[in-house]
Amino acid sequence: MRAINKMMSGIGGGLAIATLALTPLAAMAAGPGTATSNLTTVSTGYVSDSTGSAEAQSNAEFTVAPGPLTLNAVPNIQLGSIGVKSIATGSSSLPLVTGSTTGGTGYDGNGTDSLNITDYRGNHAGWALTVGMGPFTTTGKDTVTSASLALNATAGAVDNTTTAAPISLTLPQSTTTSGWVTSPETFWLADANSGEGSNSATLALTSALTIGKEPTITAGAYTATMYWALQDAPAATTPAS
């Protein structure tokens, strides 16, 4: 039990001591004062004497403002070259190579194979990054009909070490509707209570494009648009690779 806190007030020409017993509040509550009876409203203050100290509690407070969830970097995917004969006579694999692409209509990618997502919302809700691949075509509109992309990445620096690495998956060529791919897949998933802060990853050199046998292949440079989307909550399920 705390010592009795005392209030001093002048009465008439003499000095009287009036004691005010303040019962301590429960743990984790406010101090010996209350919202209506405290040092702000009691002008004469709490008395310290031989019976005990004058004790008071006040509050310190600050606010943390939420920030955004942002997609900061997505990679262009530069693949190796191959001859008409290789595709015309059998299935072929084109590995990922270093360097940036020179064609196409998707202008948001980088030439360093880099991915970066930052989550400064402060709600620990998690997020999901999906990706889809459109059809490979030449400027003359010739199309590769049997391409699929094995997409792998290695996790880089992540602020929350519980954040999972990107998922290895194989993307087929997909059609587009209203300017967006129709069948994206989850590539990077941060469950609730992960993914906070900055998250980086790099495409792995094990990524490769496989093209089936196409005897009528046309020579030329083929490009496909990659469609990346960052969702503000984790996906309910993870697509199979």
Report yes or no on 240 lying in a domain.
no
Structure confidence by residue, pLDDT tens digits, 28-79: 334 578 888 888 887 678 888 888 888 888 889 999 999 999 999 999 999 9
Question: Residue 212 pLDDT more than 90?
Answer: yes
**Together in a domain, 53 and 84:** no
DSSP states of 204-221 = -TT-EEEE---TTPPPS-
Residue 7 burial class via C-beta count within 10 angstroms: exposed 0-12, middle 13-18, buried 19 and up: middle
Please tell me whether residues 131 and 23 are part of one structural domain.
no
25 or 210, higher pLDDT? 210
When pLDDT is cut at 50, 70 and 90, the band that residue 99 belongs to is confident
- The enclosing domain of 108 has a CATH number of 2.60.40
Total count of domains within the chain = 2
Domain end point (choices 12, 35, 59): 59
Q: What is the pLDDT of residue 31?
A: 58
Domain assignment present for 239: no
| Same domain for 141 and 93 | yes
The mean pLDDT of 169-190, rounded to a whole number, is 93
* 76 and 12, same domain (yes or no): no
- Residue 96's Cβ-count burial label (10 Å; 0-12, 13-18, 19+) is buried
Structural domain boundaries, residue 76 = 69-231
Check whether residue 7 and residue 82 sit in a common domain.
no
Write out pLDDT tens, residues 108-133.
999 999 999 999 999 999 999 999 99
Question: In terms of domains, do 47 and 156 share one?
Answer: no
Which of 59, 77, 106 is at the close of a domain?
A: 59
Say yes or no: 84 and 181 in one domain.
yes
Is the residue at 236 inside a domain?
no
- Same domain? For 117 and 225 the reply is yes
Distance between CA atoms of residues 194 and 199, nearest Å: 10
DSSP 187-199: EEEE-TT---EEE
Q: Which two tokens stand for residue 61?
A: 């407070």
CB contact set of 7 (below 8 Å; sequence gap of 6+) = 18, 19, 20, 42, 44, 45, 46, 47
Q: Does residue 102 form part of some domain?
A: yes
| Burial tier of 105 (Cβ tally within 10 Å: 0-12, 13-18, 19+) | exposed
Q: Among 23, 40, 59, which residue terminates a domain?
A: 59
Q: In terms of domains, do 86 and 26 share one?
A: no
161 lies in a domain? yes
171 within domain boundaries? yes
Confidence of residue 235 (pLDDT cuts 50, 70, 90): low
Cα(232)–Cα(110) distance, rounded to whole angstroms? 23
- C-alpha torsion sign, points 215, 217, 223, 226: negative
87 & 197 share domain: yes
With beta carbons less than 8 A apart as the criterion, state whether 125 and 190 touch.
no
Please name the residue that has the structure tokens 């459109």. 134
Question: Are 124 and 193 within 8 A, CB to CB?
Answer: yes
Domain-embedded: residue 238:
no
pLDDT, mean over the chain: 85
Closest CA to 100 of 86, 89, 114, 110: 110
- Do 156 and 104 share a structural domain? yes
Q: Is residue 241 part of a domain?
A: no
Based on the domain organization, do 32 and 115 belong to the same domain? no
